[in-house]
Chain A
Amino acid sequence: MVAADFEKILTLFEEARVEFVVIGGVAMVAHGSAQATFDLDLCYRRSQENIERLCLALAPYHPALRNAPKNLPFRFDGSTVKNDLNFTLSTDLGDLDLLGEVAGLGFYEEVVEFSQTGEVSGKQCRILSLEGLIRAKRAAGRPRDLAALPELEALIELREKLAEN
């Protein structure tokens, strides 16, 4: 049983100067959604320096491929990350999905344009905006993604109407 310490992962990466944007269910919750999720989804910048920082920060927490056979050799290092794009990991801090590209948005450089800054435990994190989340969910197009749209659209409207006052 692994605890889902999303806050710890985010502050860990911020302290290590990893460039990332929080996407998926945790980004939805950061905006006020009532959805529950078991994993943290991040879009990371695929520069060599950023990949090295990411691997170094995560190494003490034993990243392993989730749902892969225990005897499958796997080493989470710069070379592994550079040679692939998306990783579904289990770590001592909880499940972590690292995405190099997000459907409907693109790579980190495009995703960050749809993000805004939010404070998590005193650190400034880039979080995908509600508009970005809607775009990504529409592009993903799975029933569970489309099911999230009414809540996300309601959050935008609620935010706008409350800002009018």
Chain B
Amino acid sequence: MSPQTRARAIELITNPPPGSKLAAAKEYGVDLTLLVENLELSVTERIRKLSSVATFLEKMREAGRKLR
């Protein structure tokens, strides 16, 4: 993502046009900053990040099971 595109993305998520899908998502509780962060990554990087998060969450789930 070029610096200009990034700046435009930040502008769009900070002040989404009224009535837009971005405004609706923000209102719904979607963290739009995470979307821009992800769009700066390649598809491979996004999937690697997900694998890492899923593995971590699975470890936390297992730890939670042991607490019960």
A: which residues have CB within 8 A of B?
Answer: 1-7, 10, 25-26, 29-30, 32-34, 36-38, 94, 118-121, 127, 150-151, 153-158, 161-162, 165
Contact = CB atoms under 8 A, between A and B. Distances in A.
Given A38-B58, A118-B43, 14 more contacts: A1-B62, A25-B50, A26-B50, A29-B49, A34-B34, A34-B37, A36-B57, A37-B54, A38-B54, A119-B43, A120-B43, A151-B30, A154-B30, A154-B32
A71 B26 CA distance: 48
A165 B47 contact: no
Given A33-B35, A36-B57, A151 B43 contact: no
B58 A158 contact: no
Nearest to B61: A38
A153 B51 contact: no
A120 B47 contact: yes
Interface residues of B, number: 38
A140 B50 CA distance: 23
Contacts, number: 105
B46 A2 contact: no
A32 B44 contact: no
Contacts of A3: 51, 55
A164 B65 CA distance: 49
Interface in B8-62: 8-9, 12-13, 20-22, 24-26, 28, 30-32, 34-39, 42-44, 46-51, 53-55, 57-59, 62
B62 to A, nearest CB: 6
B11 to A, nearest CB: 10
B44 A158 contact: no
Given A3-B55, A94-B54, A162 B30 contact: no
A4 B44 contact: no
A161 B62 contact: no
Nearest to B20: A157
22 contacts: A1-B59, A4-B50, A4-B55, A6-B50, A6-B54, A7-B48, A26-B50, A29-B38, A29-B50, A38-B57, A119-B44, A120-B43, A127-B43, A150-B21, A153-B24, A154-B24, A154-B30, A154-B32, A158-B9, A158-B22, A158-B35, A165-B5
